[in-house]
Chains A and B, each alone.
Chain A
Amino acid sequence: MKPVLVRLEPLTIGTVIVSDVADPRGRLLVKAPVPLDEALKDLLRQHGVREVFIEDRRKGGEESEKVLQSEREMLLRRLAFLGDGHAEKALKTLLIETIEKFYTELTE
């Protein structure tokens, strides 16, 4: 089994966390393996945990594509406050193009 570090936020309930989660002082928050539920997600958020290890069931190119897709979704969310004015739309396009190009080259 290959563990992979992923963002906590988009994880669906029931996903199994496969590595212990500790706070930055090393105190254990969650003992693995444990399936994610809403209460656990809230607890991790409260301790500022943004990423957890899950089992990586993906293969090759599919993995890269999923990473890119996840990054794209997170990026679009971060840019959601930029409005629909001409300058804001142009900036949004520039940011998306530049960041996507970077990640595409990184995963190639």
Chain B
Amino acid sequence: MADEDYHEIFENFERKNGFSAVPEVVSDVLFTLDSDRASLGEIAEIIKRDPGLSANIMKYANSGAYLLSKSLSSVDQAIRVIGMKPLKGLCLAIPVFERYGHVAGVRETWLHSRATSMACSILAKAIKFPEPDVAETAGLLHDIGKLVLAVATAKFFQSQIMIADSRDRDADWRQEKRLLGFNHCFIGAWFARKFNLPQILIEGILWHHEFEKSSYGRDLACLTFIGDQMAVAVGKEHPDFVFVEPGIVRALNHLRIDDRLLREVLTECLGRVARMAA
């Protein structure tokens, strides 16, 4: 892997103010969430200091990601529904995806990430994965590296969008590795590390296409990959690669997901995605 190449991408992302897209208030939220004493009320008060972030968190909570009997009307309610653990990933993802929504492919990556997050959450509960909240967050952040590529290597990313449905190509992550020397999983893990996300989450992002390589969080990486592929199957595909990968068969075997369970999870996922607001 060519160190200087990916450093250039990180620098380019920073030059385009990529990190200033994360509002100041987020670092306070992250710091408070990392302390053992954090309460939901305290977190809500911090988030309310930023009206933009507050509005976006409420929008997200009301957008079909959660099963609600009625619309949520306050930040406090939204945070209670989302829960502590997914909040950290959400506070990082929402501002950057919002800021770069105008860049080609970013809006689709956001829709795909939200669908993946839903699929991971449904799947995690179905197989009794010990940390469904972490699975939900991994789904939300798994393609954050694509956002960095879309912003910092716009020409490259657009060239991949143009061949998204070509059958004479490699999968996105293999293609990136071949042409750039690294892929969006690596970039995503770097992003997660920079914001001090838990190691298991970093592994989930890093190995979501190659779960067998993960030594620390193989099941999470595998679950994230299945969620990713389910999002593609139900029509929320990547902007730069529209196909379901054959590796899903190995992943389903690894987590011992049988046909009956897959049908159930997929049907619930289809219903949730159909209700998902743009």
Contacts and interface: CB of A to CB of B under 8 A. Distances in A.
B270 A102 contact: yes
A46 B167 CA distance: 19
A59 interface: no
Contacts of B270: 98-99, 102
Interface in B99-148: 101-102, 104-108
- Which of A46, A48, A83 has most B Cβ within 10 Å? A48
Contacts of B252: 91
Interface residues of B, number: 35
Interface stretch (B85-93, B213-221, B232-240): B232-240
Contacts of A27: 102
A60 interface: no
B161 A78 contact: no
B169 to A, nearest CB: 10
B243 A48 contact: no
Given A88-B246, A88-B249, A102-B271, A24 B232 contact: no
A48 B263 contact: no
A68 B242 CA distance: 19
B248 interface: yes
Interface residues of A, number: 33
Contact of A79 (B161, B244, B259): B244
B32 interface: no
Contact of B239 (A23, A42, A48, A77): A48
A46 B158 contact: yes
A24 B107 contact: yes
A24 B271 contact: no
B101 A83 contact: no
Interface in A33-56: 42, 45-48, 50
A32 interface: no
Interface in B49-105: 101-102, 104-105
Contacts of B106: 24, 48
A50 B158 contact: no
A91 B108 contact: no
A88 B266 CA distance: 17
A80 B244 CA distance: 8
B161 A77 contact: no
Given A46-B161, A79-B244, A82-B248, 13 more contacts: A27-B102, A46-B158, A77-B243, A78-B237, A78-B242, A80-B167, A81-B167, A81-B246, A82-B246, A83-B246, A94-B262, A98-B262, A99-B234
